[in-house]
């Protein structure tokens, strides 16, 4: 009984409002990742696009998806309410998925534009609202965002399986339409779930930081924003490599991987579910680790987590270099290579993406919360654009080995540079986080 009471106490440590936001994000991400799993394959297999042209479309779309949050965040901060922006973004994305269900190429491009615009209003505000649930519990913020990230990846797991299977085996446009159904369900979930959220998270404040002495924090506003920009910049290294999963690694799965399992061929798009599956398996473990370290005041600060992320990412692409060497001999490589690549990429992702969301929501001045979240997604846009363009020209690198080796070098060089900056400006970074060590998982440790 005592153990049961302890478990119940731990379950109630996180705000109750995370459930509807978790489910809304899950359904929206189901629609996004389901559609993304089909995009390059549809362009190459159905429309006859070259790898370069398909990579360019992928680059423009995915970068635009993460560029529009800057505009959406700015408009929300200045003119719109959080709730209205989320509804507006959801509706635009729903229209985008429906547009993709038509075979006409003009509807296809219109759908991509609507999806990107809708994401610009939806994405930064959902993350901001979720972060505000933890204003009174900063020590659980990283752990909470890891749970939120599990919702993202639960959708990412289911989406490629449903949409990918329908798209590749039945009809491409039916696969796109099924993604729209997921978006519609997400809108319904948010409508009813938002009624259970505290009124305080919808209110906007004009002072600099929440629950702080504005006279002290005003002098630290610019340095904290610069720290957000610094980590946003280095996240470009991550996304440039990580987003090969939806482009070059997707085509590698199609052309160079033995996808037969138990006598059945697995659609290439379905392999996109491996990464979110690993997120769901390892996300709770990482969440517990961050929360446990925070209680002992030993949780690494975000800079060190980013460094670790880039190191792990390089290991994943080192595995891909080995896979590419085998593939260049003309044989179809084992599916286990992609499994191991996605394993290391997942560990890398857990050290960077949810941590970045948590850090921005924690560090940003309240009056600029949405636009700074947009800046975080802007770095994603640059990384996604670079990923798509590079994937389209992988044949011009001389070999696949050289192509994937490039991401090993970029990841590890980025890790070295970031750690060097941290060492150089360590005192200033620790000062910015001073006073948060006892309660926040973002506490800086020497």
List pLDDT tens digits, range 149-197.
778 888 989 999 999 889 988 999 999 999 999 999 999 999 998 887 8
> What number of CA atoms fall less than 13 Å from residue 24's CA on the CB side?
26
Give long-range contacts, CB 8 A cutoff, 24+ apart: 403-408.
403/248, 403/324, 404/317, 404/320, 404/321, 404/323, 404/324, 405/317, 405/321, 407/240, 407/241, 407/244, 407/313, 407/314, 407/317, 407/320, 408/314, 408/317, 408/318, 408/321
- Other C-beta atoms lying within 10 Å of the C-beta of residue 316: 25
| Band of residue 433 on the pLDDT scale cut at 50, 70, 90 | low
Percent share of the chain, pLDDT over 70 = 89
Considering the domain boundaries, does residue 2 fall inside one?
A: no
Query: Could you list the residue range(s) of the whole structural domain that residue 108 is in?
Result: 17-204+214-432
Q: If we measure between CA atoms, which residue out of 415, 244, 269 comes closest to residue 342?
A: 244
The full DSSP string for 54-110 is HHHHHHHHHHHHHHHHHHHHHHHHHT--HHHHHHHHHHHHHHHHHHHTS-SHHHHHH
List pLDDT tens digits, range 354-373.
788 778 877 777 777 767 77
List pLDDT tens digits, range 338-357.
999 999 999 999 899 878 87
Considering the domain boundaries, does residue 103 fall inside one?
A: yes
| Residue 413 pLDDT | 97
| Residue 15 pLDDT | 76
Considering the domain boundaries, does residue 89 fall inside one?
A: yes
| Residue 435 pLDDT | 39
Helices (H), 105-247: 105-132, 141-159, 165-169, 172-193, 214-217, 221-242
Considering the domain boundaries, does residue 119 fall inside one?
A: yes
Residue 265 has pLDDT above 80, yes or no: yes
Residue 376 has pLDDT above 50, yes or no: yes
C-beta of residue 141 within 8 angstroms of C-beta of residue 441? yes
For the chain, how many structural domains are there in total? Answer: 1
Q: Which residues contact 334 (CB under 8 A, 6 or more apart)?
A: 257, 258
| Residue 151 pLDDT | 81
| Residue 221 pLDDT | 76
Q: Which residues contact 176 (CB under 8 A, 6 or more apart)?
A: 35, 38, 97, 100, 101, 111, 163, 167
| Residue 204 pLDDT | 66
Considering the domain boundaries, does residue 98 fall inside one?
A: yes
Which CATH number do you get for residue 422? 1.20.1250.20
Least confident among 103-107, 124-128, 207-211, 254-258:
207-211
Which range in 124-128, 212-216, 327-331 is most confidently predicted, on average pLDDT? 327-331
Residue 292 has pLDDT above 90, yes or no: no
Considering the domain boundaries, does residue 437 fall inside one?
A: no
- DSSP β-bridge partners for residue 264: 261
Considering the domain boundaries, does residue 378 fall inside one?
A: yes
On average, the pLDDT of the chain sits at 83
| Residue 436 pLDDT | 42
Residue 211 has pLDDT above 60, yes or no: no
Considering the domain boundaries, does residue 11 fall inside one?
A: no
Phi first, then psi: what are they for 266, rounded to 5°?
Answer: -85, 130
């Amino acid at each position: 009984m005592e153990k049961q009471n302890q478990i119940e106490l731990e379950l109630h440590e996180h705000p109750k409002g995370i459930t509807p936001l978790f489910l809304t994000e899950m359904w929206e991400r189901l629609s996004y990742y389901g559609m993304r799993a089909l995009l390059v394959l549809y362009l190459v297999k159905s429309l006859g696009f070259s790898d370069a042209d398909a990579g360019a479309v992928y680059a423009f779309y995915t970068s635009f998806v993460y560029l529009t949050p800057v505009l959406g965040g700015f408009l929300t901060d200045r003119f719109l309410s959080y709730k209205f922006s989320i509804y507006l973004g959801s509706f635009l994305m729903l229209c985008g998925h429906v547009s993709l269900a038509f075979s006409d190429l003009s509807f296809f491009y219109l759908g991509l534009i609507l999806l990107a615009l809708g994401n610009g209003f939806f994405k930064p505000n959902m993350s901001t609202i979720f972060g505000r649930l933890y204003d009174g519990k900063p020590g659980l913020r990283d752990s909470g965002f890891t749970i939120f990230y599990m919702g993202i990846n639960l959708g990412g797991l289911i989406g490629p399986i449903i949409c990918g299977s329908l798209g590749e085996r039945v009809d491409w446009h039916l696969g796109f339409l099924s993604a729209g159904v997921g978006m519609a369900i997400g809108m319904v979930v948010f409508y009813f779930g938002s009624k259970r959220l505290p009124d305080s998270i919808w209110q906007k404040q004009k002072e600099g930081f929440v629950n702080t002495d504005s006279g002290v924090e005003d002098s630290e506003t610019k340095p904290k924003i610069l720290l957000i920009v610094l980590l946003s910049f280095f996240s470009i290294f991550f996304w440039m490599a990580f987003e090969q999963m939806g482009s070059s690694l997707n085509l590698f799965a199609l052309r160079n991987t033995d996808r037969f399992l138990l006598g059945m061929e697995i659609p290439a798009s379905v392999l996109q579910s491996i990464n979110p599956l690993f997120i769901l398996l390892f996300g709770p473990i990482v969440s517990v680790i961050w929360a446990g370290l925070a209680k002992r005041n030993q949780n690494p600060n975000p800079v060190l987590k980013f460094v670790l992320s880039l190191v792990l990412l390089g290991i994943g692409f080192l595995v891909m270099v080995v896979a590419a060497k085998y593939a260049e001999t003309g044989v179809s490589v084992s599916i286990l290579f992609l499994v191991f690549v996605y394993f290391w990429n997942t560990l890398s992702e857990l050290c960077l993406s949810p941590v970045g969301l948590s850090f921005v929501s924690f560090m940003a001045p309240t009056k600029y919360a949405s636009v700074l979240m947009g800046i975080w997604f802007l770095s994603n846009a640059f990384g996604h654009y670079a990923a798509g363009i590079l994937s389209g020209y992988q044949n011009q690198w001389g070999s696949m080995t050289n192509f994937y080796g490039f991401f090993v070098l970029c990841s590890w060089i980025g890790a070295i540079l970031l750690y060097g900056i941290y060492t150089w400006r360590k005192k200033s970074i620790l000062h910015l986080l001073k006073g948060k060590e006892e309660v926040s998982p973002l506490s800086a440790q020497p």
